[in-house]
Amino acid sequence: MNRRTTVAVAALLSAALTATPALAKSKPKKPKPLKGTWSFTDTTPDPTPDAGSDNSVHCHGKLPAAPSDVNAATLKVSRPGTLTVNGNSVGDWAIEVRDPKGNSLAGDDSNPPAQESVSVDLKKGTWTVFYCNLTGAPTATAAYTFVFR
C-alpha cells in the first residue's frame, strides 16, 4: 500500500471505532405525553350503580342510554404508560376505564359528589373511558393525560 492509502484506511478505521459506541448508547426517545379533553353527554341519569358502589362498575346502570348520549371516549396508545383522567361535572357522575373486552380496570365515584379522578397503567392497545351521569347535570368534561413509559 502506498502512503495515501494507508492514511485513508487508518482514518476510516478510527472514525468507525469512534462512532460505534456512540450509536450503541443511543436509546429510542420516549414519545411526548398525550393530553386532551373529552366532552360527555348523559341525559338519562341512572343512580342504580350507587347501590353496589364498587369503584370498577359505576357505569353499569339499569337504564338504557338515550340516543343523544355520548358517555364513552376511546384512546389508542402505541406503547405502555399511565392514563390519568380528571372529570369535571355538576352533580354525581362516575368514571370508568375499560379494556377492549369491556372489563373495568379502574373507576371512581366520589360521595358526596365531587370531581372524579382515575389513574391506571395500560399496555399498548385501545382503551375506553366511560363517564356516566348518576344524578347530575346532563353534560360533563374530562381532561386526560397519557404518559408513556
Candidates 3.40.50.720, 1.25.40.10, 1.10.10.10, 2.60.120.380; CATH matching 34-148: 2.60.120.380
The three-state secondary structure class of 136 is: coil
Tell me: pLDDT of 124 over 80: yes
**Integer Cα distance of 52 and 48 in angstroms:** 8
What was the pLDDT predicted at 33?
Answer: 97
Minimal CA–CA distance to 97: which of 87, 112, 110?
87
Q: State pLDDT tens for residues 66-102.
A: 999 999 999 999 999 999 999 999 999 999 999 999 9
What was the pLDDT predicted at 6?
Answer: 60
Query: Can you tell me the mean pLDDT for 16-40?
Result: 77
What was the pLDDT predicted at 39?
Answer: 98
What was the pLDDT predicted at 29?
Answer: 85
**Integer Cα distance of 95 and 97 in angstroms:** 7
The three-state secondary structure class of 13 is: helix
Share of the chain above pLDDT 70, in %: 78
Share of the chain above pLDDT 90, in %: 59
What was the pLDDT predicted at 57?
Answer: 76
SS (H, E, C) 67-93: CCCECEEEEEECCCEEEEEEEEECCCE
Distances (CA, A) of 121 to 82, 110, 140, 148: 4, 21, 24, 10
Q: State pLDDT tens for residues 30-67.
A: 899 999 999 999 999 998 877 655 666 778 888 888 99
Residue 118, burial from CB neighbour count under 10 angstroms (0-12, 13-18, 19+): buried
**Integer Cα distance of 31 and 134 in angstroms:** 36
Mean pLDDT of the chain: 85
What was the pLDDT predicted at 74?
Answer: 97
What was the pLDDT predicted at 4?
Answer: 59
Query: Higher confidence at residue 110 or residue 136?
Result: 136
